[in-house]
Structure 1
Amino acid sequence: MDSTPRRRLWRDSPVSETSLSTVLEAILFGAGRSMSVAELAELLERPQAEVQSALKDLQVTIRRRRDSALQLTEVAGRWIFEVRPSLSPHLPESFRADIPQRLLPAAALIAYHQPMAQSQLVDMLGQRAYDHVRDLANTGLIGRRRDGLTRRLTTTRRFAEYFGCPEVEYRKVRTWFRKEAAKMGLTSAQLAASLAPDEQLTISEFSEEEEVESEPLEVEE
């Protein structure tokens, strides 16, 4: 997605020190990679000193979160979310430290609209959605359950731990994810596209008429 609208949003909407930390958390969460203070300052059109201070505050806030699986780390002047070292021994060998950028849009859409019909994801992402669902399921980040001719997709505990979500139950994860997107002023399609800018994706907006609240799903994690 073109970054111009987002830059206009930050410029036209003054960010207080408190909300700047929240915006930085959303950006680093969505980026899925390390970012320098200079990159963040340019994106937000804020002074580097202000961004650096907000990152330090955010780091303290995350450190104080009870039972958080993630920590905000500064490595060689770049900031990134990573799993706390104390949890590493508990992670399965198949766990991947990083999710390929190409999978982030599908992961975001599923989290936002779960329990999401796989057919709806295909409508939004095209045929690539089938491969992305398979890869996300193989990493243990989503669960799949048959629902007629399609599948219902939901996030798992591992998804919540990976993205630092304070909730695990899929409906609560959905609520949390939507709030994070709302803070950035983005629809689900806009958020998904922004997570993989190199892919230059064209993502259709979600049809609310097709959003169905089903009974709780027992999804294996």
Structure 2
Amino acid sequence: MKEWPLEVLIEAVLFTSGRSMKIEELAEELGYPVDEVTLSVSQLQQTVKRRRNSALQLVEVGGRFAFEVKPSIANHLPSTTKAEIPPKLLKAAALIAYHQPMPQSRLVELLGQKAYDHIRELAQSGLINRRKAGNTRRLTTTSRFSEVFGCPYTDRQKVKKWFREKVLETGMLDNIENASALEEELDDTIPHED
């Protein structure tokens, strides 16, 4: 039986798992020491970068590694191949990322009673955390949120800043009710260049 290099085994595990994994998880799954896996992941990153015409890239988000389709190619794929987040949940996910930590009561003010269902679905899909905070819950994004939306950060404040920059770039607030209130809050929190 052929003995496969650790780099190849890591690539196979990351590809077939369909999720991000920490170095420690990879080491445990494959039965190799953490330092060997760390070195092999680094080598794999370089190998993947050198591949010509490859559709995949190996990314690290918050100490977790995963394969994903390169953004330059993702836009050319049929919609059936992309990770599905129901469109009805996108506005709630965007508002949570934009305002985190966001009181659940504030999201309900913005979206109405349907917000409760959206929050439950987002939490069940692992995109947000909801923690009890007095009479409401505090909503924040997760590392899975960062993976799904292509954010290079997992730190809540960095995700918030990154997402706000994306909102400005894309004009996402243009069609959202209460956009002026959201923009005022944005103006108060992002420093302006003079």
Q: TM-score, normalised by structure 1?
A: 0.48
> What SS class does the counterpart of residue 159 from structure 1 fall into?
helix
Aligned to 1:101: 87
Aligned to 1:204: 178
Native 8 Å contact 1:73 1:82 kept in 2: no
**CA–CA distance in structure 1, aligned partners of residues 172 and 147 of structure 2:** 23
Match of 2:114 among 108, 128, 136: 128
- Quickly say closer, same or farther: Cα 1:79–1:180, change in 2 above 3 A: farther
Q: Deviations over 1:102-143 (max 9, x none)?
A: 111100100011000111101111110000000100111000
Q: Deviations over 1:68-87 (max 9, x none)?
A: 75323758x6466978xxxx
Shift of 1:155: 0.2
Native 8 Å contact 1:142 1:153 kept in 2: yes
Match of 2:102 among 116, 131, 142: 116
Aligned to 2:32: none
Letter aligned with residue 147 of structure 1:
A
> What SS class does the counterpart of residue 129 from structure 2 fall into?
strand
Letter aligned with residue 60 of structure 2:
D
- Quickly say closer, same or farther: Cα 1:98–1:111, change in 2 above 3 A: same
- Quickly say closer, same or farther: Cα 1:81–1:152, change in 2 above 3 A: farther
> What SS class does the counterpart of residue 60 from structure 2 fall into?
coil
Identity of aligned residues (%): 48
Letter aligned with residue 152 of structure 2:
P
**CA–CA distance in structure 1, aligned partners of residues 80 and 155 of structure 2:** 22
- Give the count of matched residue pairs: 124
Aligned to 1:67: 60
Max radius of gyration: which structure?
A: 2
Match of 2:143 among 149, 157, 160: 157
Letter aligned with residue 176 of structure 1:
W
Aligned to 2:158: 172
Letter aligned with residue 146 of structure 1:
K
Shift of 1:66: 4.7
> What SS class does the counterpart of residue 145 from structure 1 fall into?
strand
* Structure 2 residues not aligned, in runs of 5+: 1-52, 190-194
**CA–CA distance in structure 2, aligned partners of residues 80 and 128 of structure 1:** 26
Q: TM-score, normalised by structure 2?
A: 0.54
Aligned to 1:181: 167
* Structure 1 residues not aligned, in runs of 5+: 1-59, 84-96, 194-201, 214-221
Q: Deviations over 1:139-187 (max 9, x none)?
A: 1100001111111100001110111100001111000000111112343
Quote the RMSD (CA, aligned, Å): 3.2
- Quickly say closer, same or farther: Cα 1:140–1:171, change in 2 above 3 A: same
